[in-house]
C-alpha cells in the first residue's frame, strides 16, 4: 500500500530521467495530475497522456532533454511529507535556487507555483521543489 503518491511519482520521474527514458508511467490522481500539469506548463516535461485502459489509471509522462541529452529536471525534492507538513504564509513564500527553480504549493485555490501564490498573496502547504 502506498502512503505518499507524490513522493512515489517524483522518484519515478527522477529515476527515469537518470536512465534517459523517453517516458514514465505514474499513477493518476488529482494531485499528481495538477503537479504534472504545472511541470508541463513550466517546461520541465514535454507532454502528458492519460492511459484509461489500465487499472489503476495511469498517466504517461514524456520527459524533456536538452540538446546535449541532459534532463531538463536536475532536481526534485519532496518538502511536505505525510508525517511532517510544511506550511508557509504568503509573505514567506520560498525561492528555489534564487528564483531559478520552482516550488509547488497547495493552497485553498488549488495547486499553484510559488510565483503565482506570491502574486495572489496566498500561503499554503509546500509540496515540492523542482530545479
Task: Say if residue 52 is in the same domain as residue 10.
Answer: yes
Q: How far is CA 129 from CA 4, 49, 97, in A?
A: 16, 23, 10
Task: Say if residue 90 is in the same domain as residue 125.
Answer: yes
First to last CA, the chain: 29
Task: Say if residue 80 is in the same domain as residue 120.
Answer: yes
Position of cell 492519460? 50
Decide: 113 and 119 in contact? Cβ < 8 Å. Answer: no
Structural domain of residue 107, as residue ranges? 76-130
Q: At what angle do helices 5-18 and 30-41 cross, to 10 degrees?
A: 40
| pLDDT at residue 98 tops 60 | yes
Q: What is the CATH number of the domain that holds 32?
A: 3.30.1370.30
Q: What average pLDDT does the segment 25-47 reach?
A: 96
Decide: 126 and 79 in contact? Cβ < 8 Å. Answer: yes
Q: Across all residues in the chain, what is the average pLDDT? A: 94
| pLDDT at residue 1 tops 70 | no
Q: Which residues pair with 58 in a beta bridge?
A: 27, 51
Query: In this structure, how many other beta carbons lie within 10 angstroms of the beta carbon of residue 32?
Result: 18
Task: Say if residue 59 is in the same domain as residue 88.
Answer: no
For residue 105, give the 3-state DSSP assignment. strand
Reported pTM: 0.92
- Please check whether residue 70 lies inside any domain of the structure: no
User: What is the total count of domains within the chain?
Assistant: 2
Q: What is the CATH number of the domain that holds 83?
A: 3.30.1490.10
- Please check whether residue 116 lies inside any domain of the structure: yes
Which of 63, 93, 111 terminates a domain? The answer is 63
Tens-digit pLDDT profile for residues 9-33? 999 999 999 999 999 999 999 999 9
- Please check whether residue 87 lies inside any domain of the structure: yes
- Please check whether residue 71 lies inside any domain of the structure: no
Task: Say if residue 57 is in the same domain as residue 84.
Answer: no
- Please check whether residue 69 lies inside any domain of the structure: no
Amino acid at each position: 500500500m502506498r502512503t505518499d503518491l507524490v513522493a512515489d511519482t517524483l522518484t519515478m520521474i527522477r529515476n527515469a530521467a537518470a536512465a534517459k527514458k523517453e517516458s514514465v508511467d505514474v499513477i493518476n490522481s488529482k494531485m499528481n495530475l495538477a503537479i504534472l500539469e504545472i511541470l508541463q506548463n513550466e517546461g520541465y516535461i514535454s507532454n502528458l497522456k492519460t492511459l484509461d485502459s489500465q487499472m489503476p489509471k495511469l498517466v504517461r509522462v514524456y520527459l524533456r532533454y536538452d540538446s546535449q541529452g541532459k534532463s531538463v529536471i536536475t532536481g526534485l525534492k519532496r518538502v511536505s511529507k505525510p508525517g511532517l507538513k510544511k506550511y508557509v504564509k504568503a509573505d514567506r513564500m520560498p525561492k528555489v535556487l534564487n528564483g531559478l527553480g520552482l516550488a509547488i504549493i497547495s493552497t485553498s485555490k488549488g495547486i499553484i507555483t510559488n510565483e503565482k501564490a506570491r502574486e495572489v498573496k496566498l500561503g499554503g502547504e509546500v509540496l515540492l521543489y523542482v530545479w
